[in-house]
Chain A
Amino acid sequence: MSTSAPEDNRSGFFAAAARGGKRPLLTVSNLSAYYGELRALFDVSFQVAAGEVLSIIGANGAGKSTLLKSIVGMMNRGKAAHIEGIIDFRGRRLDRLGTEKIVEAGVTMVPEGRRLFARLSVEDNLFAGAFAARCRQNAPKRLKEVYDLFPRLAARREQIVSQMSGGEQQMVAIGRALMSSPDVILFDELSLGLGPAVVDDVYRNVRRINERGVTCIVIEQDMKRALAVADHVLVMLEGRVVLEGRAGELSETQVTAAYFGSSVERRRA
């Protein structure tokens, strides 16, 4: 991970974290992941500092989603899928925990395709997100914050989510993740199936969430957008990290080359 501080005119949690000197919030070391016999990740290692936005870039099948699923414990499925390696979050070994314990610890994910509880209302979806024991007491307060962030959801709190537009559903999915008061949110393919204007909106919200001190890890197909939102970039190819650096220091050409596997500057994290 680069130690040089990017230009930053924001204040608070983020600035302190970006200036370095803080120990990393999340450290992934030699992570490998398997679906049955099939190996999907090969010794992936990287660190995420508190308060930053990390973009993971890569083609289909590069292992981006598998990486996120591994972090939130969704690859711990016995013979169907398993991981090897260490995932450390504030000194706790996430690789040994089940998903619900990882969420309890403060790491959650907005899954690909949103995966809302289709038969539940907006408010029930949001409340479901606050199930972890440490979040239940604060649920009404968090709910108000989510409605402040997404006023459109407040007006439709009783609506069944399957009747809403894709953009609104994405708001519910993000709001639902926020309900668990996470320190880290992983966003898997945020813009999938959404129109460009809606995607702009979604990324503005990612920024706003990040400004409140939440560390964000984002998977995005659109390279320009991924670079624009990120402080820190990871490029993956065929289950390996092939390029890593600060967003401001990597050129688009470099990233493109790594993306297609033609880079001469391959660099292991």
Chain B
Amino acid sequence: MTDEGLYWFVIDIANGFLTGTMIGGYYAIISIGLALTFGVMRLVNLAHGDMLIVAAYLASVILSILPVSPFASLIVVAPAMFALGYLLQRLLLNRVSVQAMEAKGLSPNFGLMSPILVTFGLGIFIAHGLLEMFSSDARQMRNSLAFTAIRLSEDLNISLLRLIFFVIAVVILVLLQLFLRRTHIGRAIRAASDDARIAPLMGISTAHVYGVALGISLAIAGAAGVMIGMLRSFQPFDGPQFLLIAFGVVIIGGLGSIAGSLVGGVLLGIVQVLAGTYFGPSAQLVAGYMLILLVLAFRPQGLFSR
């Protein structure tokens, strides 16, 4: 290898790791809500991707009325998404849970299957609802940061926006961890996740705790939706592609682990960027799925699962 060849090799690898890591933070925020609701109530929320898009549209509507920074829209988007999640769980998903099925005299297995079907249908409903309201034109949130780069060396840059997203991602994950460890409701969420039948003996209402869990899941999805809208354009039917990313991250990192989501996101990001660099853009997706398959084959519980 010539000196110049070696130089570019090092630059490519460094770029892969840097950009991949930045993307990983963004992936973690897209995914953490899915991991949280699965960890707490074994809910596989197939509408998770569509919820990200709902948040993106909500933010873009707010910005069209009030021309503020997209980040400021989170003041409304996050609480609105929390409320949506809480109500969705209390009014709809708690009615098809394991406990609800048992109370109806049905097999608890229905309680595992039904929420998957319900959220699948919900996802379709949301996508078509968005299409009805906003048509299929792609939207985006304009912002001055998208094309700003930080120059690390002559040939190595990172996007300022991605760096900000990474920092926000780490802050959100740390706050979530503190919330789950230090607050009464956080402990109740972990207790209900550990043993939902015994949690009520602690005075814990699982219906409420599950509502809070989906609320937090969607509030974080709100942040992810705003990030999506700042990075790229989005359309009503974009949800499933983000759901796939979220599944990938959760499989790699391991379910129910917050640190695992970050590591899973970062690994997926690095592999995709490197594959894109060496084999062209179309290799990005393939390499991502290869990584997911490898993890499933050799460590199906995920890298961080206990």
Contacts and interface: CB of A to CB of B under 8 A. Distances in A.
Interface of A: 36, 72-74, 77-80, 98-100, 103-104, 108-109, 111, 115, 117-120, 124-125, 127-133, 135-136, 139, 176-177, 180
B202 A128 contact: yes
A77 B99 contact: yes
A98 B102 CA distance: 16
18 contacts: A36-B105, A74-B201, A77-B99, A80-B105, A99-B200, A100-B202, A103-B203, A104-B203, A108-B201, A118-B194, A120-B187, A120-B190, A120-B194, A124-B190, A128-B190, A130-B202, A130-B203, A131-B187
A78 B104 contact: yes
Contacts of A73: 200
A132 B202 CA distance: 7
Of A108, A118, A120, A125, the most chain B CB neighbours within 10 A belong to A120
B204 interface: yes
Given A78-B105, A131-B184, A98 B200 contact: yes
A103 B184 CA distance: 16
Contacts of B263: none
B190 A119 contact: yes
A128 B187 contact: yes
Contacts of B197: 74, 115
B191 interface: yes
Interface string B225-265: 00000000000000000000000000000000000000000
B188 interface: yes
Nearest to A118: B194
A100 B205 contact: yes
Nearest to B188: A131
Contacts of B191: 117, 120, 124-125, 128, 131
Contacts of A177: 201
B190 A117 contact: yes
Contacts of A135: 203
Interface size bucket, B side? 20 to 34
Contacts of B10: none
Contacts of B200: 73-74, 98-100, 103
Contacts of B99: 77
A103 to B, nearest CB: 4
Given A79-B103, A120-B190, A130-B202, 15 more contacts: A74-B200, A78-B102, A78-B103, A79-B104, A80-B102, A99-B200, A100-B203, A115-B195, A115-B198, A118-B195, A124-B191, A128-B188, A128-B190, A128-B199, A176-B202
A69 to B, nearest CB: 10
B97 to A, nearest CB: 12
B195 A117 contact: yes
Contacts of B201: 72, 74, 99, 103, 108-109, 111, 177
A142 to B, nearest CB: 13
Nearest to A135: B203
Given A78-B103, A80-B102, A131-B184, A111 B198 contact: yes
Interface string B89-132: 00000000001001111000000000000000000000000000
Contacts of A128: 187-188, 190-191, 199, 202, 204
Contacts of A79: 102-105
Nearest to A179: B202
Given A100-B203, A132-B202, A80 B103 contact: yes
A131 B203 contact: yes
Interface in B181-213: 181, 184, 187-188, 190-191, 194-195, 197-205
A-B CB proximity, top 8 nearest: A78-B103, A132-B203, A79-B105, A99-B200, A117-B194, A103-B203, A128-B191, A80-B102
Contacts of A77: 99, 102-103
B144 to A, nearest CB: 45
